[in-house]
Structure 1
Amino acid sequence: MDLNILWFILITVLFVGFFFLEGFDFGVGILLPFLGKNDQERRVVINTIGPHWDGNEVWLITAGGAMFAAFPNWYATLFSGFFLALFLVLFSLIIRGVAFEFRSSDPSPLWRNTWDWVIFTGSLLSAILWGVAVTNLLKGVPINAEMQYVGTFFDLLSPYTIIGGLTTLLVFMFHGALFLSLKTTGDMAERSLKIAQRIALVAIPVVLLLAGLTYYQTDLFASLGAGITLIGSGVTLILAAVFLKTRKNGWAFVTNGVTILLFTVSVFWGLFPRVMISSLNANWSLTIYNASSSPYTLKIMTIVAMIMVPIVLIYQGWTYWVFRNRVTEKNLHY
């Protein structure tokens, strides 16, 4: 198999894993100040993702490392052109991590409430910015013949990309609410289901709007498979809402996860074989060939990945199995 294609697929898989796993992390963080009525309830909410949030972020680190090694020109153009946007993403992830660690170091209500809102802010920024970044990849950005981004931060903002940010925000919030309904009990689980239903009512029309704008703003639908996959993400989101209505919240969570998977796959499928689209000249777009490392480098990376990736997947799967039970106030350690 063409190793350039293989590594493009692997990076797609890494982003699917990141958005699926970190998606409910972000959603839980955003809902934290609103679902938790007191400190004990907020601790329950945090503990649902406590064993997992840092492991989930490893998917992003691995995706970035894979981009750097397999497609260095893509990495260089993306991280230089999207510097401020990606800096904000990293800043939001950092303050979330700090907040998770610092929150319990002082019993003061003011201290803990402050860090709760830091978790909310970091999760909110991340959820929005990823949608803005992804839709910019589809829409195209100003890249010159030297593979250099020649725009500004504000070139990344448009009605289309803002709708993209709102889409990921709502889908991740829905994902987080469903996750909490599965990981908590009693009144907390019921409140999670109710807020999930409200989010779904807003998320569905926004996702359908994004699909319509994508048809007019990008060439994603030039690929039949990408177009069908994007439409499929809207269908599965509606199915998730239907499952939720019948209180099959486990199926709703899985189906919404499929929504995230299909949406992410549609983006990369629509890009292929490009990795970044130039809005100045289509011939200046970065592809999996003009942005890649040497064949020998890709070969060595493939051997290493075949050994390490299964180990990482088994380990992370084991952690989810160990912490599979619901979290209650009885599980809190004082």
Structure 2
Amino acid sequence: MKAILMKEYGNEDVLFETEVELPAVGEEEVLVEVKAFSINHVDIVTREGDFKAFRPLTFPHLLGLDFVGVVKEVGALCQSIKIGDLVTGINYGGTYTEYITIAEQAVVKLIQDVNVKETAAFPVIAVTAWAAVMDHGLIKPNQKVLIHGGAGGVGHIAIQIAKQAGAYVYTTGAERNTAFLKKLGADEVINYATTDFTTVATDADVVIDTIGGDVQEKSFQSLKQGGRLISVVTKPSEELSEKYGVYSDFIRGNVSKETMIKLVNDLVAGRLTCHVEKEYPFSLDGVRKAQVELSQGHTRGKRIVII
């Protein structure tokens, strides 16, 4: 089967295409024929070596996390998933390949007429947005939340989750995305190119940071005393947290299977939407191009690869 692997840390040129053996299926695993997978920011920073100091890789390495595919084989102890089921999930063993093995308990069964493209783009950003807004942001009705980068992958899901929780939502974005962000439910869209967000979003209960850097540091000014700054990018400054009297944390989207099922059901039922900006073919050039274009920023929603 075809796989696109990385041979070492570096730019997109370290990716290469090769043939690998079909993976063996464990007793509690399923073999999935991948139909589509998404490109996430974590793929790029992993490839560039940002995590190598505390999570070194063994090469060659298979990147990728979320996917949609059809089950082709099930382990002897599997009970809830059958051959032919359409499934999605997050596979920490990688997805840039035609077939993957994954624990039965790590997949969510889908109805057969689901939008494969939207669903393949959804799991990672959905669990990250949920963890940021609900598990760590602790959003409550009528609170004010500022979500940076609202048109991005995590951002555009976070807006919807925050609105469903009853929050008043500010978000930063480009002028071209104003209508898109309003449709998602944002109450006020702040054009980051022309407006200082700290002059609009004041006394916020929660800030969701998807940008990092100077934007993260300035975000402390938008929070009320006792507010919460949750970043999905980098660890916020403890010094600034103490100075402004707020709670801050850097989080990843590790949530329960039950939460994943709830989020996927919300997507399938139309209570959440996932925007796919662009799709690419499953080829070395296609995957390289997808990573390069994602790294350039300003993506609305997600980028996916179709097999």
Structure with the larger helix share = 1
> Greater relative contact order: 1 or 2 (C-alpha under 8 angstroms, separation 6 or more)?
1
| TM-score with structure 2 setting the length | 0.27
Report the structure, 1 or 2, having the larger strand content.
Answer: 2
